[in-house]
Structure 1
Amino acid sequence: MRLLSIYIPSETLPHIFGKNHNGQTINLGGKYIYTFEENANGNVYVKDKMKNEKFIENFWLNNIKLVSAIVGENGTGKTTILNLLREPYSYCKYIYEDSNSDGHIITDNSEVNEVIYYSSFLNINQSDSENGNFKDLSKYQMMIDDTEYENLDLTTLLELHNSENLKRWIKFIELKNLSALLEEMSLPAFDKIKIKIHSISIDEYQTSYSFRPFFNELKKRVDLERTEREQAELDRLNLTKVEDIRNSRATQKIKLELEIISRVILKTQNILESSGNKYLEEGHLKNNYTIKSKEFINQPSTKDAFYWFVENSFIQLKQKSEKILFPINEIKTLIETLLSYIPESKEIDNWTEFDVNFTQALEIIKAYENFLLAFKDKFAYDKKVLISFSPSKNLSSGEKGLYDLFSVLNDLNYKTENNIHTNYNIFSKRKKTSDNLLILLDEADLGFHPEWKKKYINIIQQVIPFIFKNKSIQIIITTHDPLTLSDFPNNNIVYLFKNNARTEILDYDFKQRPTKTFGANISDLLTDSFFVNDGLIGDFAKESIEKTITWINNNKDPKDRNLDFFDKELAHHKRVILIIDESIVKIKLSEMISELEDSNNFQKQILDDEITFLTNKRKNLQ
């Protein structure tokens, strides 16, 4: 199923198209170009249906049926138009085509396809407005989903979201057979996650009076244990010279182990600090233990002493009220999980961070999340970050953006395939899901370096079908970038033009409408400014043109031709040449392909079209 055209009835979007506006038609570059008519009663019908001469069947890669772009300056309504596709019962009319028909009008698209909206920037207006066939994967919605709608401050929200985001990255990278595809696309892979343990400063104004001596004593025990264990390790290795000790990493593991224990203790104390002074006098220990109690003194290590403290401590607001306990299991699990994956000393460069593999990272992330959430109800959700997670390889913003996009799509597909999609986000239950996907990418290329903007359309055509296997896929993007547009045939682009306070959709016959995009060279200036290599057209357009050149060269000699397919292939490559909007390339290819036919008719057609274009351009200048 493929969406060809959208009709927006009159006076329905006055903030975009102006007060009392006429009905607006959006054609997406399908097999036909439609014109609608709306009568006085508001009834809509197709007035005209014209064959799109530049449409090429099976032009896009894999199982993608159509890719279209909506462009225009800020405020022209690009996102508003995408929003027209999210409602199951819309005031708009849609033209869909399938294998059995060239197009029919529908108003309810809820059972036609699954609509997936992705945006890499925060758009709070998108939140909380999903429905049966619409999935909101925008940045803000994903942040809300990742924290399960808890009312949290932004810092904490981002901390949990980033952890969940890294989980999605890992799950995406671990997809079977993906590594070859990543290598082919030059999208960097990484197999390690860097775990960094952050220091937390404590003011100690809000810690319960009875708890403060224990926290102070634990700090002293950490320093004492570090000194004793480091000296014992140096003695074991017989290291006595100052220079040898400095050059040795023998004690790195000890330092890192004790830093983890120390900083989890500080994080726990800071949670008490963040809870405010309501627990100042309400902190207690069983049996009235103190730091001089032998049970505490005789603990063999700082870790054991801390475990003993949280096991024997509680908060009680009144004598007979409920005892508030520390989340003992979550505290222990976090510490033990971190300690279990510390590498050997020789592998530790910095005793506040270390690398782990994906499986270990997921276990640490889960333990840390459980630790944070365990304090939430009775204590405070502390804002200071204890652990941060990052790829072991530095990634550009464009690479991170692509990983974000593909990982959330993969996560959605996993939940859908495993029949848990009805509990994902907040969209209502459905009896079935469609195999037709309409994917809306709202400025997903925002912030990409020009090199990655060149790759953008080519990459999404390879990865999205890889994720959504056996699905029929249509993609609509919004963009501001000419490099992205160079991968689009001109008829696949919806141009929005700001005319005073209202937006106009530039139909194919509008003079203001740009006429050349696919394979057109954007500007040599970008080469100097952004160091873009290998030309300035999109990779998909470049590869399509190169395929045509290769085919022509392989068929110069009639003896080398496969006569069963030659005519069909010839027609296909002529159509590719027709949509190329770089005149020099287009004319040269028409000359080359005409030599295969012993006829100059096709070349004459191309030259006539170019003459007409230049003549009209000259008239417009006059």
Structure 2
Amino acid sequence: MWVEEYKNIENQGFNFSPRFTCKYENGELTIEEKKDYISIFPDNINITAIVGENGSGKSAILSSMITKEKVFCVMSENNQLTVYSNNILINTPLKQKRSTREVFKKILYFSMDNHHLSLAKTQSRLTVIDLSQTNQLITENYAKLQTIDFSLFNFKPYYIGYEFINDWIASDYEFEEKDIEEVHSALGWEHTADTSVIVDTLRALRDLDNEYMIYLLNKFGTIAKIFEHIDLTEKLHPKDFYLTVNYEEIQEILEGMKIDFVDESEFTQLISHANKMIKIKKLRELFGENYIQLLFRRMIDELSFDYMAQNGSSYGSLSHGEKTLYSFFVNLVHFNNSDFLFLLDEPDNTLHPNWQKSFLNEMMNILTKLKKNAHLVITSHSPFLLSDIPKENVIFLEKGKQVYPNIETFGANIHTLLSHGFFMKEGLMGEFAKSKINEVIDYLNGKKSPITDDDEAQKYIHIIGEPIVKRQLQRMLDSKKLDKIKEIDELKNQIESLKNRLDILVNNS
């Protein structure tokens, strides 16, 4: 890929396959295949990692691949190299095409950054992995998921359960002074108006037991917003305090506000099956043809879901790392293309180190099991992930420029990768710990330090985990103590000598 200009990257080429050597100069592109190249990855998979400090340009490279800026990419299609570009003239014997929607259909994108994810969806029309949509994809693909084993744990969703998030159907809140003030303002009442009727109205709302009415009123978002559209102080009987407003009136207002809601029959059906485990295949029968739209779009804020396999294992009992990996699995099952580019922007960002260690291996197992051919391009800060990739498959970035550190990444130890692969020139110790150790060193060297005595210095030395540093500081402290003992002995001797001299002077006087 050649980037002429995008964010902090200018006139740079990036090679995502060590199988080729690529050169672009003065508008001329030459690509040669390395005949002796042997990949360590499965035949259906290639992997490129992009690493560097924050701000080095990692995410910018991924973004540039899906933009229409001054960028061109060379991709392999049916064992033939094709150049995709919209606005760069290239002199090459290779076939050239414009970047179109057809190209983007062959890209699957993931980012933990919601802004990047949104741009990929809306501007480039990419298929994205959105972890918030996992429930919907599990439901849509449950039949496929029954036929494929997931190697990490045996979970094949067969049942679905949901419950209403309580705030949507409960009104037993304790209203506060600010609620009264906001309603007062929404009604446009004068400052001196009596607010006791507002208090009575809020109490009546608090005591409502009609769940559908509560649901509709909650769709307004805030108590004050209800009163902006309906003066409930006039809709409550002053004696019995019951609502005289009807559903149709509220629904008409919500429609005018372009707020989506379900009607009473749908709501009743949803309530009747809440807190139960239902066979996923029965959802259409229970909720109609548009059950996906109902459950995962229209009621997405109101419902929380769980899934259960026939063996009794549940999705809700999985750890965060397991859910994340399972979500990738479900998305790959759902994605129709069998030959694609898989862009992953820091996918291991929220994973425990154990899952970081397993991530690439599991991705390769999943893709192989699904018989998909994929080129994974991954940005990462994880030394575990980098240790699974040869340096020929790694793009190292520093301040928007590609650099070539003298390091072998594959199977390397974590300390080496952190120091060299991730450019941690200031060491691997936390800054707070380093500052405290420096204070101990200053004290032991007789320099100005917040540490005032040996006991305080010993307290810090005792809890240091790095053995060489700990041992050296202990030696320095012990030496300091010995020096003090020697100094004390010398002073004692001097005192004794002075006493003897004084005695002689007294006796001779």
For residues 138-184 of structure 1, give each alpha carbon's deviation from its aligned partner in whole angstroms, at most 9, with x where no partner exists: 65xx8xxxxxxxxxxxxxxxxxxx5x4422233344425544x21x2
Say yes or no: does 1:193 pair with 2:193: no
1:70 corresponds to 2:50: yes
Q: Which residue of 2 aligns with 1:337?
A: 270
Shift of 1:53: 3.9
Whether 1:398 aligns to 2:321 is: yes
8 Å Cα contact 1:93/1:105 also seen in 2: no
Structure 1 residues 124 and 482: CA distance shift in structure 2, 3 A: same
Give the counterpart letter for 1:195 in structure 2.
E
Counterpart CA distance in 1 for 2:250 and 2:114 is: 42
- Tell me: CA distance 1:335–1:82, structure 2 relative to 1, closer, same or farther (3 Å): same
SS at match of 1:458: helix
Identity %: 19
Counterpart of 1:75 in structure 2: which amino acid?
G
1:505 maps to which residue?
Answer: 402
Report the alpha carbon displacement of residue 516 of structure 1 after superposing the two structures with TM. Answer: 3.3
Q: Is the partner of 1:477 in helix, strand or coil? A: strand
Counterpart amino acid of residue 161 in structure 2: I
| Structure 1 residue 366: Cα displacement | 5.3
Q: Are residue 124 (structure 1) and residue 115 (structure 2) matched? A: yes
What do the CA deviations read for 1:349-376 (whole angstroms, capped 9, x no partner)?
xxxx554443567858755668769xxx
Letter in 2 for 1:266: I
Structure possessing the higher radius of gyration over alpha carbons:
2
Partner residue, 2:98: 108
- Partner of residue 270, structure 1: 218
Alpha-carbon distance in 2 for matches of 1:81, 1:316: 49
Displacement of 1:440 = 0.8
Residue 51, structure 1, aligned to residue 34, structure 2: yes
Classify 1:274/1:282 alpha carbon distance in 2 versus 1 (closer, same or farther; 3 Å): closer
Query: 1:496-545 deviations in whole A, cap 9, x for unaligned?
Result: 2x2xxx33313xxx4x242231x44547999xxxxxxxxxxxxxxxxxxx
Q: What is the rounded CA distance, in whole Å, between the counterparts of 2:47 and 2:141 in structure 1? A: 23
In structure 2, distance between residues paired with 1:37 and 1:130: 31
SS at match of 2:322: helix
Aligned counterparts of 2:61 and 2:205: Cα–Cα separation in 1: 63
Distance change >3 Å, CA 38–CA 361, structure 1 → 2: same
- Within the candidate set 60, 83, 100, 2:63 is matched to 83
Following superposition, the deviation at residue 135 of structure 1 comes to 0.6
Q: What do the CA deviations read for 1:3-48 (whole angstroms, capped 9, x no partner)?
A: xxx2334xx24x535xxx6x423222342222x2423xxx1232x7
> 1:201-600 to 2 correspondence within 5 Å?
201-202=172-173, 203=175, 216=204, 219=207, 262-271=210-219, 273=223, 275-281=225-231, 310=246, 330-339=263-272, 341=273, 353-359=275-281, 363=287, 367=294, 386-391=302-307, 392=314, 393-413=316-336, 436-464=339-367, 472-496=373-397, 498=398, 502-506=399-403, 510=404, 512-517=405-410, 519-522=411-414
In the other structure, the counterpart of 1:31 is 19
CA 1:461–1:481: 2 relative to 1, 3 Å: same
Please give the secondary structure, in 1, of the residue aligned with 2:340. Answer: strand
Displacement of 1:77 after TM fit?
0.9
Residues 399-444 of structure 1 deviation map (CA, whole Å, 9 limit, x = unaligned): 222233344444453xxxxxxxxxxxxxxxxxxxx86411111111
Rounded to whole Å, the distance in 1 between the matches of 2:297 and 2:32 is 59
Does the CA contact (< 8 Å) of 1:92 and 1:107 recur in 2? no
Aligned equivalents of 2:263, 2:172: Cα separation in 1? 22
- The one-letter code sitting in structure 1 at the alignment partner of 2:326 is Y
* Partner Cα distance (1:402, 1:172) in 2: 16
Cα distance in 2, alignment partners of residues 520 and 86 from structure 1: 32
- Offset from partner CA, 1:56-97 (integer Å, 9 cap, x none): 3xx544x72422221222111111111222146753352647
Q: Quick check: 1:213–1:291 contact (8 Å CA) kept in 2? A: no
Instruction: Output aligned runs, 1:3-14, within 5 Å.
Output: 6-9=1-4, 12-13=5-6
Q: 1:482 to 1:284 in 2, by over 3 A?
A: same
Q: Deviations over 1:114-144 (max 9, x none)?
A: 34242342342553466897515265xx8xx
Task: Sort the Cα spacing of 1:91 and 1:366 in 2 relative to 1 into closer, same or farther, 3 A.
Answer: closer
Q: Which amino acid aligns with 1:394?
A: S
Letter aligned with residue 479 of structure 1: S
User: 1:127-206 residue pairs with structure 2 within 5 A?
Assistant: 127-128=118-119, 135-137=126-128, 139=130, 162=132, 164-179=133-148, 181-182=149-150, 184-186=151-153, 188-189=155-156, 191-198=159-166, 199-202=170-173, 203=175
| Contact persistence 1:70–1:78 (CA under 8 A) | yes
TM-score by length of 1: 0.48
Q: How many residues align?
A: 371
Which runs of 5 or more residues in structure 1 are unaligned? Answer: 1-5, 143-161, 223-261, 297-305, 343-352, 374-384, 414-433, 527-622
Structure 2 counterpart of 1:108, which letter? R
Aligned equivalents of 1:109, 1:370: Cα separation in 2: 32
- Structure 1's 176 and 356: CA in aligned 2 closer, same or farther, altered over 3 A? closer
Q: Distance in 2 between matches of 1:68 and 1:189?
A: 31
- 1:570-590 deviation digits (Å, cap 9, x = unpaired): xxxxxxxxxxxxxxxxxxxxx
Give the Cα–Cα distance (whole angstroms) in 2 for the partners of residues 122 and 280 of structure 1: 40
CA distance in 2, matches of 1:214, 1:312: 21
In the alignment, the residues of structure 1 paired with residue 248 and residue 334 of structure 2 have an alpha-carbon distance, to the nearest angstrom, of: 42
CA distance in 1, matches of 2:128, 2:256: 41
Contact 1:65–1:473 (CA under 8 A) maintained in structure 2: yes
**Partner AA of 1:167 in structure 2:** Q
Distance (whole Å) between structure 2 residues aligned to residue 169 and residue 88 of structure 1: 33
Instruction: Return 64-73 or 273-282, whichever deviates more.
Output: 273-282
Contact 2:49 2:380 in 1 (8 A): yes
What runs of 5+ residues in structure 2 fail to find an aligned partner?
83-92, 188-196, 308-313, 419-509
Distance 1:197 1:515, change over 3 A: closer
8 Å CA contact 1:33, 1:50 repeated in 2: yes
Aligned to 2:362, the other structure's residue is in SS state helix
* SS across alignment from 2:317: coil
Letter in 2 for 1:55: I
